[in-house]
Structure 1
């Protein structure tokens, strides 16, 4: 048997006898760097401090009790969503049952492999060997991706494919994913279409549909997804995207039906249940919304990443039903079982305001909303949906300043910023044109301050900082001409002073095209085009684009 003594392995299994058996099997292949986790919580803490080459995870992590922790599928969902394992980690799911919902649910989270018990040492090591050999081919590319060098990873895929033709489809898939990460959806579409030439590949169909969705070609996305599901009814990601497509097209009832079908087939994914709850609430099926949100809260109970927003969603559904007692119980559960944090404080105050509103205590509800607004300033990672809901609640209670403060906080959120158009649109949709104008003026002033700050950085020779500052401004106001002109000018100064960088040069071209659409007859645009062409000629770059 081949030796894999350099591999580090984490065994996640609550059963000491099974941990011992796996340990002995690994020892027979000279694998001795072995650690254990007896639950999802201990596994997450270990993976937060150390990376492992291989993870062997039992599906049933609760010793058969449904109320004693996460299962392996829910753990893998958390690990993927919170990036605790990367592409190079070999994750093998182990289970004694070939239950359809378990196999399907685990498979759609793309573990490296799925192994049914009982298995022999030779059978397990064959699976590990196959995964290790494949990883060796891709390791250099994985490292480039981890370093944020997606463009270099694309080139490496093309180079490696020539000497490893058996992995051609895997290289194509990675290339497409990197194009998507770079925002190059049209390039990704070409890769997916090439992969699909004359054959049906679920991953390529799903990838193509995601690009079509991102390009707002919803009819095309729907046709692609329907063809994919005709060929493979178990392609679970297609149901999720099809539901999103229906929502984008304003057809929430159809989205609800699609999600219900998906949940019936694979009932354990938290993000799908959450989406079903949201769509059910939107369509007015409050009973279905309550059921879905209750399942989300229950399934996430043992997650290290519990989201207090799930409790808010459940409280909102219960309040809408008029079930005040159950809503109170959910709020008490949130206070008792969730870790103290700014996010939990925001959600507790919003939930309390919902309950006070429905019981006729408007003054107390307004006080809770103000407390929520105060906590928002310290919170991190709250969804825009929750914060916009808070804005609307503040407007309902005439808390105009609080509403404006939340919108400005969303504008300044580096993780989930909203654009100026979206910010103003919140107030326009609420019929508050006065607040829309006021927030618009305030945002314009902030953008002018960022432009001035970037100009000062450039004068001091800190060109990268100037470009980064203007990128930050563009995320908030992508259609602001003053920021667009300043951003292109800053990029060109950096290229002139520090040397040509292809991604930055391409970005300058993209921003110039945006200016062309918004300000086609401006003399300033003509001057910018001349400057851009001069920078390209300086480095021998073609100016035909």
Structure 2
């Protein structure tokens, strides 16, 4: 049994009497340091500034917030270390919502009212698991993935690891995926599915296939998960990403819109929705969603310069150039200078479109780098748009060729075609497509030197 007198407890509940009751139960099992948080924001502040060992969080936090949303935010901002315990406290009326959530599950849940003995039993069980995986957690946090996998393999072969066999397999697959071994992760997830049809394992296969750009196979796998487990919203996110990669932006937007309505405070999902809407040509939805994110994603540091670029992009698409200029010049010059080249290029390109007098000199100054740099799809689309508006056909065509040979060609194709059409260069775009296709055919037919 663990010594809970040395553990820091945080009790999160919006009701004073409930907080006192939870503190009494915690003290009965030996807890000495017990802090309170009365609401969602208070909880995040306390976790940031005085990291607890054990969190007892009520499911209903008031103000439309839930313990599940808090758990999402803690994981999103890496505020919940693997060693920490997050236990959801729920009434019977909320029990179904807690246990039906397939994604971002707490370490455990407990239905109130409950006795100190019951809490002690649950905590002892979780503490034993955390201790079992402690060395693995440390190596994963250091990104020493080979060491982490070696520890997991030792655990898998041990008698002590038998109660955790599926968790060990899951962690092995996750580490492979994080470290870039998508093929190894796929094999590991498939091994799990041979024993049990876990939705998360089937989704893991789909994620692994997506990383390998095997999109049709990934789509087939994730369709099965979404159909069988409608509450697994992360699976819907993945399906939408795969749809976007396949160029099916309308379907991606529809999927994300439906899930976002059920999870209105999940701003990561809303960012994905805004991207899908942008690619689908739904400028009003993209602008409304990005405006909501910038105004209401209140976690410190949550709204980034990249978000403001996305908002400006949506405003330009909606032909609201005045708002786009205001959004862009609202960024501090020091923040712009600290951006990666991708984002600096997007900033200059978007500013050149929304405010040519301010933005054109910066954009032209970056041109030599933009002709040869390795850039992301969003930045290339921004550069292409700006180059077309300035009549710089060489720069625009360079970006189009790079996009067409890249892994996100299907995802970007509709937007490229739209921009070329707006400037009366449809035939030029078709010629670029032919050039890229012929080059690919020639490359595929060229005998390899070691053949």
Q: Which residue of 2 aligns with 1:392?
A: 350
What is the deviation of 1:83?
A: 1.0
Match of 2:90 among 88, 92, 95: 95
Residues in 1 aligned to 2:368 and 2:99: alpha-carbon distance in whole angstroms = 43
What is the deviation of 1:78?
A: 2.2
The yes-or-no answer on 1:135 pairing with 2:130 is yes
Query: For the Cα contact (< 8 Å) 1:212–1:220, is it kept in 2?
Result: yes
Query: For the Cα contact (< 8 Å) 2:4–2:32, is it kept in 1?
Result: no
Alignment of 1:191-340 (within 5 A): 191-197=188-194, 199-286=196-283, 288-289=285-286, 292-293=289-290, 296=293, 300-301=297-298, 303-307=299-303
What secondary structure does 1:61 align onto? Answer: strand
Q: Which residue of 2 aligns with 1:182?
A: 179
The yes-or-no answer on 1:147 pairing with 2:142 is yes
The yes-or-no answer on 1:419 pairing with 2:414 is no
Aligned pair in 2 of structure 1 residues 405, 41: CA closer, same or farther (>3 Å)?
farther
Match of 2:79 among 77, 84, 87: 84
The yes-or-no answer on 1:355 pairing with 2:322 is yes
Q: Which residue of 2 aligns with 1:6?
A: 6
Q: Which residue of 1 aligns with 2:361?
A: 401
Does 166-175 or 122-131 show the bigger shift? Answer: 122-131
Aligned pair in 2 of structure 1 residues 383, 277: CA closer, same or farther (>3 Å)?
farther
Aligned pair in 2 of structure 1 residues 203, 237: CA closer, same or farther (>3 Å)?
same
What is the deviation of 1:426?
A: 5.3
What secondary structure does 1:31 align onto? Answer: coil
Query: For the Cα contact (< 8 Å) 2:2–2:127, is it kept in 1?
Result: no
Residues in 2 aligned to 1:409 and 1:49: alpha-carbon distance in whole angstroms = 42
What is the deviation of 1:232?
A: 2.4
What is the deviation of 1:377?
A: 2.9
Aligned pair in 2 of structure 1 residues 402, 58: CA closer, same or farther (>3 Å)?
farther
What is the deviation of 1:166?
A: 2.0
Aligned pair in 2 of structure 1 residues 137, 383: CA closer, same or farther (>3 Å)?
farther
What is the deviation of 1:298?
A: 6.7
The C-alpha deviation readout for 1:348-382, integer Å capped at 9, x for no partner, is xxxxx83357xxxxxxx5x9856758354355699
What secondary structure does 1:183 align onto? Answer: coil
What is the deviation of 1:112?
A: 1.2
Higher relative CO (Cα under 8 Å, sequence separation at least 6) belongs to 2
Work out the number of aligned pairs and report it.
394
Aligned pair in 2 of structure 1 residues 137, 281: CA closer, same or farther (>3 Å)?
same
The C-alpha deviation readout for 1:83-105, integer Å capped at 9, x for no partner, is 11211211112234645895379
Residues in 2 aligned to 1:420 and 1:312: alpha-carbon distance in whole angstroms = 16
The yes-or-no answer on 1:167 pairing with 2:167 is no
Q: Which residue of 2 aligns with 1:48?
A: 48
Query: For the Cα contact (< 8 Å) 2:103–2:234, is it kept in 1?
Result: yes
What is the deviation of 1:266?
A: 4.2
Query: For the Cα contact (< 8 Å) 1:55–1:90, is it kept in 2?
Result: yes
Aligned pair in 2 of structure 1 residues 7, 381: CA closer, same or farther (>3 Å)?
farther
Residues in 1 aligned to 2:363 and 2:111: alpha-carbon distance in whole angstroms = 54
Alignment of 1:341-490 (within 5 A): 354-355=321-322, 365=325, 372=331, 374-378=333-337, 384=343, 388=346, 391-395=349-353, 397-398=355-356, 399-403=359-363, 419=374, 427-428=383-384, 430-431=387-388, 432-435=392-395
Query: For the Cα contact (< 8 Å) 2:342–2:376, is it kept in 1?
Result: no
Superposition RMSD in Å: 4.0
Does 399-408 or 140-149 show the bigger shift? Answer: 399-408
Aligned pair in 2 of structure 1 residues 180, 404: CA closer, same or farther (>3 Å)?
farther
Residues in 2 aligned to 1:401 and 1:160: alpha-carbon distance in whole angstroms = 59
TM score, norm. by length of structure 2: 0.73
Aligned pair in 2 of structure 1 residues 375, 166: CA closer, same or farther (>3 Å)?
same
What is the deviation of 1:318?
A: 7.5
Q: Which residue of 2 aligns with 1:34?
A: 34
Q: Which residue of 2 aligns with 1:109?
A: 104
Residues in 2 aligned to 1:248 and 1:78: alpha-carbon distance in whole angstroms = 27
The C-alpha deviation readout for 1:365-405, integer Å capped at 9, x for no partner, is 5x985675835435569995x96265234156443332256
Alignment of 1:64-83 (within 5 A): 65-66=63-64, 71-83=66-78
What is the deviation of 1:108?
A: 2.2
The yes-or-no answer on 1:126 pairing with 2:107 is no
Query: For the Cα contact (< 8 Å) 2:253–2:277, is it kept in 1?
Result: yes
What secondary structure does 2:86 align onto? Answer: strand
Does 368-377 or 120-129 show the bigger shift? Answer: 368-377
The C-alpha deviation readout for 1:256-301, integer Å capped at 9, x for no partner, is 2222332344444222233223323433445544664565467534
